[in-house]
Chain A
Amino acid sequence: MSSDKINYKSIRIEEFKISEKPFYIPVADEINIFHSAYKQKIPVLLKGPTGTGKTRFVEYMAWHISNIVSKDNKKKSEVQKEVPLITVACHEDLTASDLVGRYLIDPEGTRWVDGPLTRAVKAGGICYLDEVVEARKDTTVIIHPLTDHRRLLTIDKLGELIEASEGFLMVVSYNPGYQNALKDLKQSTRQRFIAIEFDFPPFEVEKEIIKTESGVNDSIASSLATIGEKIRNLTDYGLTEAASPRVLIYAGRLIKEGIPARRACQVAISWGITDDKKLHKSIEEVISAIFP
């Protein structure tokens, strides 16, 4: 056996903390709202189309709470714990035990392993369930007692109730665009959360985001933001999802790497968001009107 070790960084999920300030430009008072909700232990629901910064916002808030809170409370307790961020991407086969934990077989018999949610509850972190509607319905049984005044996690198989630690907060996200009669949040679930809506940012903000994230100059960023704005006008013409800030940033990054602007937009925006040839042609005319 070779002794070549592959170097990689591995951390336990409940120890994952955002140590560097993520880039986030607030559109409205969402930082304040989230912060207040965190202090008041009110779970948060983030709604909005893909690529509008929901995940980035959660990361930012995890950092924000860890750093800003600790400064504010300096007098009270010098050692404010940093808040871990535990993200679970939900899919249609995600069951309650995937969240809570399960018994595994080992040589001596069985061994209990905590799931990510249990770990978050114990560690007092922010547990972010991305695309929560995708998860199996039995997850709601666990989510409900955790998200109201009880803040309890029931672990059936252990016969235990775990009280959530001080810093625990559940944050879920979903995209109403994909909404499908079968997969909608139940009212009883919805009403346990406060909701923050995400949408495409206003022109100036988007321009700033593109500029910072991709490193392009002001004029290119402004053009990309214009393209985004124009393409979003097309949802009536057969676009299922409009161009998100994310694809605009990708286009920007390619431009930064030296790809010609029109080509970068074609691969990052036009071809990415639709397969419709007619739309490609029209979108590319828009792009070529904006980028020389």
Chain B
Amino acid sequence: MIASEYYNNKISKIGNQLKLVSQELYLTFVSNKNDLSKYFDEKTLVDWASIGLNISNGSEKNLETGKKFFQVSSLINEKIPLSTFKIWMLTVEKISLESTSLGYSYLISSPSVLKFLRPRYLQEWGEISKNIFSGSWKSNLLAAKFLESSPFLLETISFDDLKNLAKYCENLSIKSCDLASDHLDWFTKNLALFGKDSSDFIILLKKMTIYDWREIKIFFELLDLNIQKNKIENIKYLIQLLLHFYSDKEDKSNNDQTKKIDLKITNYAKIFLINTEKLKDLDVSRIFNFNLNLIKYSRDASYNLNNSINSLLEKLTYRQLSEWFNTGIEILKKDLNLGELYFLVETEQSQLLIDTLSFSVDIEREKELFKIYCGALSGKDLEIQSSEKLVEKEIGWLDSNLATTEGTTIFLPQTVKRFNSKKENFAWYKVIATHQTGHVEFGSFEFNFGRNSSLFFNLRFKLNNFKFEENIDDSEINKNDSKSYLTDISKFLNLFDDSKLALDIFTLLEAFRIDKKVLNVYRGIRDDYIDVQKSALINRPKIEELPTREALVEILIRYSISPDLNISIPSKYKYIIKNLFVLVNKMSSSEAIVEDTAEATIRIYKILSEIDNTLEDDLEFEELDLNENFQDETENQENEEDIKNILDYFQSLEKDLKSSNDKNEFGESENVSDELKYKSPQEVEYRGDFKPELSQLLYDFQLSDGISDGNFDDLNLNENDLEEMIKNFPDIKDTQGDQSENTDGNVAKNIADLIENLDGNDSNSGGMFSDSFGHVDENGKSLISSGKDQYVYDEWDFRAKEYKKNWCLVNEKKMSEGESDFYDETLLNYSGLMKEIRKQFEMIVPENYRKIKRLEEGEEQDLDLVVEAMTDLRAGITPSEKIFWRRNKIERDIAVAFLLDMSASTAEAIENTKYSKDDWGAPDDPEKYMEWLRKRRSQGIRRGYKRIIDLEKEGIILLIEALETLGDFYGIYGFSGYGRENVEFFVMKEIEEKFSSEIAKRIDRVSPLHATRMGPAIRHTIKKLEKVEAKSRFLFLISDGRPQDRGYSREGVEKEYAVNDTKKALQEAKSIGVTPFCLTVDKQGHDYMKNMMDDMSYEVLDDISLLPLRLPELYKALTMT
């Protein structure tokens, strides 16, 4: 009681004093006092009042400040706890006593700053501002400005950043207050542009005030210039680089023995910004990475690099540039001076390397060209890839410098830099690409065990019978051997004991066959081809040093590369070699097919395996005169005796094998000779790495992918089988050498994985939408938006026939940027279709302005028609009244929003609907199976496993290209989410946004997410369309199924709730003049779509693969009316 009285007295005393200062002030005090006394204890109230009095004393400004203090107090009190309020109060007092105007600024900015700042920082915020004030009136103004700008700045930056900014102002104000003040304005205006880089930016500036304050002004001019040019991204990169600029100064500031004049930071910045100005985003980010790496070693080197970067990019690909760069870094590490010059391209080494690199042919540059080239030659849709990609997969290919193919992709070495001119390198590249394409074009992988050869008697069938007959009584082996082979080539190679030898023969014969075919058809590259062949003969192993069998194989290889060459051969085997050559030569016949290669392999194998693989020292060599040897062609016609010989030979081998198997337990056979284990010959580089078995396996699987959902079962293929098969691969056995079998296992596993992927069993699809997400009670209350990009929408409850108020929360996000590869590839893959679409869309525009003739009324009479009518009149016939023409002016004024379904179900691989399930009747017999697959291939199945979402994306990309020709306004959005409080709404392109490469990159990121709550997404899109002024507005919904979400398609009422809400949302669209259209790829769509779309138009697309094609068509049809 007493205390209370004491305080009351105090208050009234202060009141009186205030009254003395100003009546107005007193009134403000009283009204706020009454308000605050509800919250404050008496002591605080008195403190509060006395602070007010304290700061009001003095000039007019003091009075204002005091008044403001009383006014703002209640505002502040609402927002912060009492304890903090007390501190705030004291801060006000402290600042005001230092400078009244500063106190005033603090007061007026406090309420708005609290929107972004935690109350406990209020005091610190005051403190840092006060620090800027150094006593001068200019610094006073600056500090006040800082206080007043704070709320705006805090919108984009954190308090820590603000502290740094204050420090920056403080540092700079020592040199120039005006500059600091200008910059505060600048920050308020521009800082938001820097996004999350603004912290770094401020830190950089702070450093600049310490080391380089004179440069700051120029630096800002530079920034302004580039902001005008909209090069924010480049500035962000620059900031990251400049942060390293002072690192050495910080490290060893005492150790100040600079050897030369320091590079000015603004000069560096200028060079970087100028040189990156015209580059593509991807290039800039790459250059940034180079620089980031470089600037750690030397700022000057980085500066030099930026100076020369444009001319480098013209000459080199990114990959080549990296190589050049890395060499430079190595030099830099050893010799700073030399390194810096290197990056200016002033050293000989640097120049030389650039020349070599720029002469080289790089796959990145030629990919497109060769894709079309190889496609034209083979008539198949071939991909071009770097061999490295294949080696990385670890499925048996080991050398990334060799070209190869597995029938659907041509793998080429990353770069060719064998010669000192681009022309020669390119010619070499073209030769190897043509050779690989030849394997596809001339059917290397279409080997069919059962197909007749065209030049030989078919020994394969007989040999196969031996295998079976021999084992017929031995059930154990029989089971193994009669197993179905994965490929026809495996089956064929399995006929031989030494399958490695057989494969080597097969490979060289097949390569020879392809060479001959290529040279025959493609006479234009003959010269280059022969050059390549000639150079392939250099560095072959010496025949004289090889054991006999290998020597013969080597002779055959040389002969197959260049039959005109004079080879020195061992005289002893002259006739055998002659016979071999005749066999090889048969492959040059225009009728030779891959089965002929197989037959010739059998014959050559027989001859070679009869020769011991020993080193014979006493051999005599002679030059083989080819002319002499080939005169008696006719003699070489195969007769029955020859065939019988071969058959007998293999039959006996088979018997030997069997008996040796039996004897095996008794140890080594007595036949201990000096015979060496046969080794495969050195590969021929231009012919690449030919792996028929593996290739055929992959080839066959790629043809069949996506058709069945259980290829493994159908083929009895599992990892063990594969492993077994791979263990038997002669070429892998060879390359893996004596390594443990684990490697084989890995390879098998990798292949199995690969095949599984091809098979389209994506483990990611489905199951994404699980219970792991946080639940919100479905019967809960309304939601409120709590952030900038959150919106709440009502939802329609069809049973209650009313809206649930504020039921759904939509989070709008800008889609992050990926790569533009998907976009570019889509355009490339569909370039044919794209042309067509673009043409059709281009036709829309002139149609709008076309002169329409033969009208009953119009702008003017058509002279021709008038003459016609007059003639008719004279001739006494009723003339036509339609003699007018009019220009048809229908201006397009269209805004359209595309809404993509990004639900988890869009991750499903599309099944190729061209082949329904009934069609799936794969024969069990592997031979027939392969034939069956091949048939399918010829019917034009495309390789590749695509998801629904990919097709949605492709459709949109094609449409974008088309829409750009039309000039319609369009926005692209995607949606997904989980639960009503989490509807995700992604913006790929706003309606008013101009198309740019960023949008292409955003589309790349469109991927399957969670569920499909269509209603709120539609409502949000409507909101966007509402803001656009256009004569006709459309909402184009692309989905893959019915709407569904947790609590959206609720139990009992089945899916009707969701369907009805969606319907309602679409009706809302209609009611504000937006025409909705729904395209669904759900084949079950007909049932609910009819209900959902009511009288609105929709289309159910039965064949999903038509989506990219159909979308532009639909759009055209929809907007033309």
Which A residues fall within an 8 A CB radius of B?
A: 97, 102-105, 109-110, 112, 157, 180, 223, 226, 230-231, 233-240, 262, 276, 278-279, 281-283, 285-292
- Give Cα distance in the complex from A237 to B833, angstroms: 9
Task: Answer whether residue B369 sits at the interface, using C-beta atoms and an 8 A cutoff.
Answer: yes
- Give Cα distance in the complex from A109 to B835, angstroms: 53
The residues of A that contact B524 with a CB separation of less than 8 Å are 262, 287-292
The residues of B that contact A112 with a CB separation of less than 8 Å are 875
- B:817-850 near A, CB below 8 Å: 831-832, 834-836, 839-840
Contact status of A105 and B871, CB under 8 A, knowing A233-B376, A279-B372, A282-B372: yes
Task: Answer whether residue B352 sits at the interface, using C-beta atoms and an 8 A cutoff.
Answer: no
Q: Is the CB of B434 within 8 A of A103?
A: no
8 tightest Cβ-Cβ pairs between the two chains A and B: A238-B831, A282-B372, A233-B379, A289-B522, A110-B875, A103-B871, A230-B376, A103-B875
Contact status of A237 and B378, CB under 8 A, knowing A223-B523, A289-B524: no
- Give Cα distance in the complex from A103 to B371, angstroms: 60
Q: What number of residue pairs across chains A and B have CB atoms under 8 A from each other?
A: 97
The residues of B that contact A281 with a CB separation of less than 8 Å are 369
Task: Answer whether residue B788 sits at the interface, using C-beta atoms and an 8 A cutoff.
Answer: no
Task: Answer whether residue B868 sits at the interface, using C-beta atoms and an 8 A cutoff.
Answer: yes
5 A/B residue pairs, CB under 8 Å, sorted by A: A105-B874, A233-B378, A233-B380, A239-B832, A290-B523
Which B residues fall within an 8 A CB radius of A?
A: 368-373, 375-381, 430, 434, 521-527, 831-832, 834-836, 839-840, 867-868, 870-872, 874-875, 877
- Give Cα distance in the complex from A291 to B368, angstroms: 22
Q: Is the CB of A282 within 8 A of B832?
A: no
State which of A97, A240, A290 has its C-beta within 8 Å of the C-beta of B521: A290
Q: Is the CB of A289 within 8 A of B434?
A: yes
In whole Å, how far is A111's beta carbon from the nearest beta carbon of chain B? 9
- Best-surrounded residue of A104, A238, A239 (most CB of chain B within 10 A): A238
The residues of A that contact B521 with a CB separation of less than 8 Å are 226, 290
Q: Is the CB of A240 within 8 A of B832?
A: yes
In whole Å, how far is A271's beta carbon from the nearest beta carbon of chain B? 16
Give the residue name and chain of the B residue nearest to A97 (CB): B868
Q: Is the CB of A237 within 8 A of B522?
A: no
Q: Is the CB of A102 within 8 A of B369?
A: no
The residues of A that contact B835 with a CB separation of less than 8 Å are 238, 240
State which of A239, A278, A290 has its C-beta within 8 Å of the C-beta of B368: A278
The residues of A that contact B874 with a CB separation of less than 8 Å are 103, 105, 109-110
State which of A223, A282, A288 has its C-beta within 8 Å of the C-beta of B376: A282
The residues of A that contact B525 with a CB separation of less than 8 Å are 288-289
Question: For the complex, would chain B's binding face be called helix, strand, loop or mixed by DSSP majority?
Answer: helix
- Give Cα distance in the complex from A291 to B870, angstroms: 63
- Give Cα distance in the complex from A224 to B381, angstroms: 22
- Give Cα distance in the complex from A103 to B381, angstroms: 58
- Give Cα distance in the complex from A38 to B801, angstroms: 71
Q: Is the CB of B868 within 8 A of A102?
A: yes
In whole Å, how far is A1's beta carbon from the nearest beta carbon of chain B? 30
Q: Is the CB of B375 within 8 A of A236?
A: yes
The residues of A that contact B377 with a CB separation of less than 8 Å are 230, 233, 286, 289
The residues of A that contact B375 with a CB separation of less than 8 Å are 233-234, 236-237
Give the residue name and chain of the B residue nearest to A156 (CB): B877
- Best-surrounded residue of B370, B372, B525, B527 (most CB of chain A within 10 A): B372
State which of B370, B373, B832, B840 has its C-beta within 8 Å of the C-beta of A235: B832
Give the residue name and chain of the B residue nearest to A283 (CB): B376
Contact status of A238 and B832, CB under 8 A, knowing A103-B872, A233-B379, A279-B372: yes
The residues of A that contact B526 with a CB separation of less than 8 Å are 292
Give the residue name and chain of the B residue nearest to A288 (CB): B524
Q: Is the CB of B522 within 8 A of A180?
A: no
- Best-surrounded residue of B377, B378, B527, B836 (most CB of chain A within 10 A): B377
Q: Is the CB of B831 within 8 A of A237?
A: yes
Q: Is the CB of A291 within 8 A of B523?
A: yes
Q: Is the CB of A231 within 8 A of B376?
A: yes
In whole Å, how far is A157's beta carbon from the nearest beta carbon of chain B? 5
Q: Is the CB of A289 within 8 A of B430?
A: yes
Give the residue name and chain of the A residue nearest to B871 (CB): A103
The residues of B that contact A109 with a CB separation of less than 8 Å are 874-875
- Give Cα distance in the complex from A226 to B376, angstroms: 11
The residues of B that contact A290 with a CB separation of less than 8 Å are 521-524
In whole Å, how far is B911's beta carbon from the nearest beta carbon of chain A? 22
- Give Cα distance in the complex from A182 to B377, angstroms: 36
Q: Is the CB of A286 within 8 A of B373?
A: yes
Q: Is the CB of B871 within 8 A of A110?
A: yes
Q: Is the CB of B368 within 8 A of A236?
A: no
Q: Is the CB of B834 within 8 A of A238?
A: yes
The residues of B that contact A103 with a CB separation of less than 8 Å are 871-872, 874-875, 877
In whole Å, how far is B70's beta carbon from the nearest beta carbon of chain A? 75
The residues of B that contact A291 with a CB separation of less than 8 Å are 523-524
In whole Å, how far is B937's beta carbon from the nearest beta carbon of chain A? 15
Contact status of A292 and B868, CB under 8 A, knowing A278-B369, A283-B376: no
The residues of B that contact A226 with a CB separation of less than 8 Å are 521
In whole Å, how far is B1113's beta carbon from the nearest beta carbon of chain A? 9
